[in-house]
Amino acid sequence: MLTAFHTFGCTQNNYETQKLRDLLLDCGHVAIEEGEPELIVINSCAVTASAEKGADEMAGRMRKKYPEAIIALVGCYGEVLLRGGQTFKHADIVLGNNKFQLIDALEKHLAAPDAKCSPTTTRSLATTCPPAATHPPATTDPPAATLSSSATCVPAASQSTAALSKSAPSKPYANTAQAFLHIQNGCDSACSFCIVPGLRGKSMSAPPGRIMDDLKRLLSQGYKEVMIAGINIGLYKSGVYRLIDILSEINAIDSLEGIRLCSLEPMSLDAGFVRGLPGITKLRPHFHISLQSGCDKILALMKRNYTFKQYYSLITAIRGAIREAVGATAAISTDVIVGFPGEGAGEFIESCENIAKCQFSDIHIFKYSPRAGTIAAGMPNHVSAHQKSARANVLEGIKMQACYDFNNRFIGSTERVTIQKRRPGVPAEGVTGHNIKIAVSGHIPTDAGYVDAIVTGLGKSHGSLIGKSII
Ligand code: SF4
């Protein structure tokens, strides 16, 4: 089948799309980015209402544009729908985080062809894979440190366990040096606004042996750089291994050129991580460390388990470690929620002042979105939508200044760019070592995953760069 993939959400979801793509390609599917698909896989996210809306709109557009195509909605939003017993009118197949059962679900769907297009049957959820929630967690679900591949009937969480212990070499994406290397899933924290632990289960870490096998296979397929993927990788724990231990093992592989980290949670990073950083010589100097709010009262309501002062000393220590190691400034970017219940004007101002102090390289701004089943959804003093938008605009101004101050220093410098996307007739898209998006014009060999480029200016809204390749 000609299959198109669309991904919403986090690095973990991007990794899982990469893995779904491999599974389907192994079954003879052909991945397409243009043209008419026969199967459309939407790997969804439920972290905010707008993420869910994005998947809704995507599926609706696809249904209109390709009425004959089979649409499969999988991932966290699928999990929310299945657990709520809700229907999803645009999809023929709905799976949650048991998304790796897609092959079975597809076969079941194709075995009942009449179910495909009839509005009633197909979209009734009875025909799709039973929702993960109907399977009580497998009692074999071992604590994170001792994962095995013995699970047979795999509810979502253990399925991740199974996925974690099975090797997952990936088929090369065209023309990029970077691949996802998956090490962890789930989360043990309980932030009051967050739906993730409920959807992905407790933290599970992949055995070091499996991670190193995957890495060697990715390198044998021509990848040169890995993005370490997981939900809360700071929680990585397998036997005596912690995150910094597995990073130094990965770093030791000669043919690997670069290591990037997915989002980090400050409460999961210990002193050992910071102390070990100088030893990870292939680590790109960028850290995305979620702050969520710069106000201690709101951090407490969010159950983030740190104060702004602790967060600030952590990023200061990381900057110091990177400067010591490579003499360069580390880029620190972050996530911030505006309009959390209880955030009055005073709390917001305090948050903005502290955020400005951090000299972030980028700030991802989210308007608080109540998630069913979370503590925060039941809290008093919810902020109006109008107020949330007004605050997001104020923070957008702080973000643009921060991006300008950080990115401006690179004009005239030569940067090693990891190519991520290229289309004929337009500059190639990539990221620098500091994870700044850059559009590179000029000649780039077709098979190059990297290119050296001289930075010639700032892109739109200061959040990106423009450059010219040096060949
Ligand atoms: S650390 Fe908090 S915000 Fe991050 S996934 Fe876990 S519960 Fe959610």
Instruction: Please tell me the distance from the alpha carbon of residue 141 to that of residue 155, in angstroms, as a whole number.
Output: 10
3-state secondary structure of 92: coil
The CA-to-CA distance between both ends of the chain, in Å, stands at 39
pLDDT, tens only, 97-109? 999 999 999 999 9
CA of 261 to the centre of ligand 1 (A): 16
Indicate if ligand 1 lies below 6 Å from the C-beta of 197.
yes
pLDDT, tens only, 7-38? 999 999 999 999 999 899 999 999 998 899 99
Average pLDDT in the 416-426 region? 89
* Biggest CA pair distance of the chain: 64
- The predicted pLDDT at position 424 comes to 82
Q: Among 126, 418, 408, 455, which Cα is nearest to 282's?
A: 418
When pLDDT is cut at 50, 70 and 90, the band that residue 446 belongs to is: confident
Instruction: Please tell me the distance from the alpha carbon of residue 296 to that of residue 313, in angstroms, as a whole number.
Output: 14
When pLDDT is cut at 50, 70 and 90, the band that residue 119 belongs to is: very low
Q: Which amino acid is at 114?
A: D
- The predicted pLDDT at position 351 comes to 98
Q: Is the pTM of this model over 0.75?
A: yes
Which of 196, 236, 264 most suits a substitution to test ligand 1, by most atoms within 8 Å of the C-beta? 196
Instruction: Please tell me the distance from the alpha carbon of residue 47 to that of residue 368, in angstroms, as a whole number.
Output: 10
pLDDT of residue 131 exceeding 60, the answer is no
When pLDDT is cut at 50, 70 and 90, the band that residue 116 belongs to is: low
Instruction: Please tell me the distance from the alpha carbon of residue 379 to that of residue 189, in angstroms, as a whole number.
Output: 19
CA of 190 to the centre of ligand 1 (A): 6
3-state secondary structure of 404: helix
Task: Look at strands 204-205 and 184-185 and give their pairing.
Answer: antiparallel
Structure tokens at 300: 């407490």
pLDDT of residue 213 exceeding 70, the answer is yes
CA of 196 to the centre of ligand 1 (A): 6
* DSSP-derived secondary structure letter, 101: G
CA dihedral 418, 422, 428, 432 (to 10 degrees): -20
Comparison of pLDDT for 117 and 15, the residue scoring more: 15
pLDDT, tens only, 286-309? 999 999 999 999 999 999 999 999
The answer to whether 14 and 36 are in contact (CB under 8 A) is no
pLDDT of residue 146 exceeding 50, the answer is no
Q: Which amino acid is at 136?
A: P
CA of 71 to the centre of ligand 1 (A): 29
CA 265 to ligand 1: nearest atom? 1
Structure tokens at 401: 């200044």
Other C-beta atoms within 10 Å of 213: how many? Answer: 14
Indicate if ligand 1 lies below 6 Å from the C-beta of 76.
no
- The predicted pLDDT at position 87 comes to 82
pLDDT of residue 391 exceeding 90, the answer is yes
Signed CA dihedral, 254, 257, 262, 268: sign only: positive
CA of 255 to the centre of ligand 1 (A): 34
Indicate if ligand 1 lies below 6 Å from the C-beta of 299.
no
Comparison of pLDDT for 268 and 86, the residue scoring more: 268
Average pLDDT in the 425-436 region? 94
Instruction: Please tell me the distance from the alpha carbon of residue 162 to that of residue 160, in angstroms, as a whole number.
Output: 5
CA of 426 to the centre of ligand 1 (A): 38
- The predicted pLDDT at position 325 comes to 83
Return the H-helix or E-strand segment holding 224.
none
CA of 151 to the centre of ligand 1 (A): 26
- The predicted pLDDT at position 169 comes to 40
- The predicted pLDDT at position 381 comes to 97
Structure tokens at 235: 């929680």
Please list, in sequence order, all residues whose beta carbon lies within 8 angstroms of the beta carbon of residue 174, skipping any fewer than 6 positions away.
none
pLDDT of residue 120 exceeding 80, the answer is no
- The predicted pLDDT at position 310 comes to 98
DSSP per-residue string spanning 228-245 = EE-SSGGG-EETTEEHHH
Which of 47, 191, 366 most suits a substitution to test ligand 1, by most atoms within 8 Å of the C-beta? 191
Indicate if ligand 1 lies below 6 Å from the C-beta of 243.
no
> Of 138-142, 231-235, 351-355, 456-460, where does mean pLDDT reach its minimum?
138-142
The answer to whether 93 and 123 are in contact (CB under 8 A) is no
3-state secondary structure of 360: coil
Average pLDDT in the 343-349 region? 98
Indicate if ligand 1 lies below 6 Å from the C-beta of 191.
yes
Average pLDDT in the 322-344 region? 94
Instruction: Please tell me the distance from the alpha carbon of residue 416 to that of residue 8, in angstroms, as a whole number.
Output: 27
Instruction: Please tell me the distance from the alpha carbon of residue 147 to that of residue 144, in angstroms, as a whole number.
Output: 6
Smallest CA separation from ligand 1 atom 8, residue: 194
Q: At what angle do helices 345-357 and 308-326 cross, to 10 degrees?
A: 10
As separate numbers, helices (DSSP H) first and strands (DSSP E) second, the chain gives 14, 20
CA dist list (Å): 21 to 56, 122, 181 = 21, 23, 15
Comparison of pLDDT for 284 and 471, the residue scoring more: 284
CA of 307 to the centre of ligand 1 (A): 16
pLDDT, tens only, 267-292? 999 999 999 999 999 999 999 999 99
Share the mean pLDDT of the chain. Answer: 88
CA 267 to ligand 1: nearest atom? 1
- The predicted pLDDT at position 342 comes to 98
Instruction: Please tell me the distance from the alpha carbon of residue 361 to that of residue 363, in angstroms, as a whole number.
Output: 7
Indicate if ligand 1 lies below 6 Å from the C-beta of 194.
yes
* DSSP-derived secondary structure letter, 144: G
Average pLDDT in the 235-254 region? 97
CA of 378 to the centre of ligand 1 (A): 18
